[in-house]
Amino acid sequence: MTTALKPHHAARLPRTPAFSGTYRLTGVNLWSGTGESVQPGSEIEVVDDRIVYAGAFRPEVTVDAGPTIDLGGVTVLPGFIDTHVHLRFALETNPLVMMSQFESQQHFLAMGTVRDTLHAGITTVRDLGGLDAGYRNAIAAGLIDGPRLHLAIAVLSPTGGHADSHLANGVDPTAGISDGFMRIVDTDDQMRLTVRELVRSEADVIKVCTTGGVSSPSDTPHDLGVPEHQVAIAVEETGRRQGQPVTSHAQGTEGILEAIRGGVSSIEHGYEIDDEGIALMIEKGTFLVPTLSSALRLPDPQKVSPVLYAKKVRWSAIAREHLTRAIRAGVRVALGTDSGVCPHGTNLTELGHLVDLGMSPAGALAAGTINAAELLRLDADLGTIEAGKLADLVFTRRDPLTEIHALADPSEIIAVVQGGRVKKDSAGLLAELPH
């Protein structure tokens, strides 16, 4: 089922295999995404792939068309959304290993990553470079299990920028791996053409790089990339179509400001955001996707180059200082991990990081649910547990408001429902429901 498109607002809703049926879940500790507290003694009724009721237990109601399951106090939350992943890649994998693999092997490995991400409680993701629409189609057809996919398909930067993987000697060590994931765009006309090509390829979002990066070989986060006027060109081009958001990889201060002024919907990373950038984001309603799982994690120095390790140490400290300031100032935050740069399948580690940097537990949960849904323009269907929304549900025995760090462990996510259908049930709670 797809949602009606509202120009410049609603996005294409990635499909998942259709579910038809009715069931009722009682004895629920409900965090619906619409308040600050967990509501014990609640119930959820699902018809087909939609929620028809979520709230206080209704003792007078019976549902004869399907099973009623008493969950005995299990906590249920909305399906989480990770707005920054790279599901096909793992930065700490030796490039020689990747280059020795057949392309088919890489795709099968990515299928496992996609499944693990779903089982971690992530029912929707925004992949910001690496996957094409074939993965989205495979999930829609039920060929593989995975989160709904919103796709950037490629990353855009100038020559020598974050998306240019050539070494100083001209060798591209990612040749045969990236499959067009990195796109070099230098002129205004190249920007227009590339955005049009990506929209034709069914991109849901356009990703530009207004700064260099920690992980790229030939630049730093202080180096400037796509200029402000070309960011505006990308925004103008998507505005002539379905209003796909434009987002920016932006780590250094000046590139963050150029991206915001150019009209992006979100800043990815934002490690060195300053007071001017914070004020401008609040004024414009720009989202921050701080990717703390990547920013605050130091890789194994035996698995990365000394140069990369040194950059990570420096920029991890910078990110902690500046992102703490942005979070406490009230910038709108959407959860994103940058998995692929950090390990896959532990996406909800990000919730604890957000709390550690000053966000309330309820605020962190909202960052991964309703805020993320608004950024993806899918909030008409996702982000909360309430009547009319898709039945994306995550189950845990933990109290997310007092034990939020525990959700980092995927084993604490004991069940996942996506679009009404059970995708994980490690505790056997939902054996009566369609899988």
**Co-location of 168 and 287 in the same domain:** yes
**Co-location of 240 and 333 in the same domain:** yes
Quick one: pLDDT at residue 7?
A: 40
Residues 197/136/286/245 CA torsion (nearest 10 deg): 30
Query: Where does the pLDDT of residue 175 fall: very low under 50, low under 70, confident under 90, or very high at 90 and above?
Result: low
Quick one: pLDDT at residue 177?
A: 59
User: What global pTM score does this model have?
Assistant: 0.94
CATH code (residue 164) = 3.20.20.140
Could you read off the pLDDT of 110-156 as tens digits, one per residue?
899 999 999 999 999 999 999 999 999 999 888 999 999 999 999 99
Residue finishing a domain among 347, 372, 398? 347
Q: Please tell me which residue, 109 or 364, carries the higher pLDDT value.
A: 364
Residue 368 has pLDDT above 80, yes or no: yes
Q: Is residue 220 part of a domain?
A: yes
Q: Is residue 118 part of a domain?
A: yes
Query: Where does the pLDDT of residue 35 fall: very low under 50, low under 70, confident under 90, or very high at 90 and above?
Result: confident
**Co-location of 221 and 180 in the same domain:** yes
Query: Where does the pLDDT of residue 299 fall: very low under 50, low under 70, confident under 90, or very high at 90 and above?
Result: confident
According to DSSP, residue 301 is labeled T
**Co-location of 237 and 257 in the same domain:** yes
> How is the beta sheet containing 122-127 ordered, strand by strand?
80-85, 122-127, 148-151
Q: Is residue 365 part of a domain?
A: no
Query: Where does the pLDDT of residue 6 fall: very low under 50, low under 70, confident under 90, or very high at 90 and above?
Result: very low
Q: Give the closest residue to 341 by CA, choosing from 216, 207, 158, 156.
A: 216
Quick one: pLDDT at residue 90?
A: 81
Could you read off the pLDDT of 373-384 as tens digits, one per residue?
999 999 999 999
What radius of gyration do the chain's Cα atoms show?
Answer: 21
Domain count, the chain: 2
Mean pLDDT on 318-345: 96
**Co-location of 49 and 149 in the same domain:** no
Quick one: pLDDT at residue 305?
A: 80
Residue 2 has pLDDT above 50, yes or no: no
Region of poorest pLDDT, from 4-8, 154-158, 249-253, 375-379: 4-8
Q: Is residue 46 part of a domain?
A: yes
Q: Is residue 279 part of a domain?
A: yes
Could you read off the pLDDT of 39-98 as tens digits, one per residue?
999 999 999 999 999 999 999 988 888 999 999 999 999 999 999 999 988 876 666 676
Q: Is residue 3 part of a domain?
A: no
Residues in contact with 361: Cβ distance below 8 Å, sequence separation at least 6, in sequence order: 351, 355, 400, 401, 402, 404
CATH code (residue 396) = 2.30.40.10
Q: Is residue 377 part of a domain?
A: no
Q: In which domain, by residue range, is 401 found?
A: 22-79+383-425
Quick one: pLDDT at residue 3?
A: 31
Quick one: pLDDT at residue 302?
A: 84
Beta strands per DSSP E along 253-398: 266-269, 287-289, 393-396
Quick one: pLDDT at residue 18?
A: 67
Residue 4 has pLDDT above 50, yes or no: no
**Co-location of 256 and 269 in the same domain:** yes
